[in-house]
Amino acid sequence: NAGVTQTPKFRVLKTGQSMTLLCAQDMNHEYMYWYRQDPGMGLRLIHYSVGEGTTAKGEVPDGYNVSRLKKQNFLLGLESAAPSQTSVYFCASTAVVDVHEQYFGPGTRLTVT
């Protein structure tokens, strides 16, 4: 199993550009999450999904949109990137039958200039 993978690993955007971050998991997990981590801080939840076709807002959802069209994929979109969105983005997933453990991906380092 590859676990949780994230694409791309690094990206530099100019202010106003758009992009989509892809998270994929091969563990058949129902729940998926997108977090961001700013330097020296803990992770903050952006959006999450409890199943295919469903999404919900987390702690810091503004400026982001998400979609979960397939169970194994969770996409995070930035429609008009801002320097304040410079961060490391982590995706995670968990199974309903073992909901206590979240599995995290390696992260995407995004810089917006």
Partner 1 sequence: DAKTTQPPSMDCAEGRAANLPCNHSTISGNEYVYWYRQIHSQGPQYIIHGLKNNETNEMASLIITEDRKSSTLILPHATLRDTAVYYCIVTVMAAGNKLTFGGGTRVLVKP
94 binds partner 1 (CB under 8 A): yes
42 binds partner 1 (CB under 8 A): yes
What is the full DSSP assignment across 5-42?
EEE-SEEEE-TT--EEEEEEESS--SEEEEEEE-TTS-
Between 63 and 107, name the residue whose CB sits nearer to partner 1. Answer: 107
Residue from the set 13, 24, 48, 74 that interacts with partner 1 by CB under 8 A: 48
Q: 57: which strand partners? A: 47
Interface residues toward partner 1, by CB under 8 A: 4, 31, 33, 35, 41-45, 48, 50, 56, 58-59, 88, 90, 92, 94, 99-107
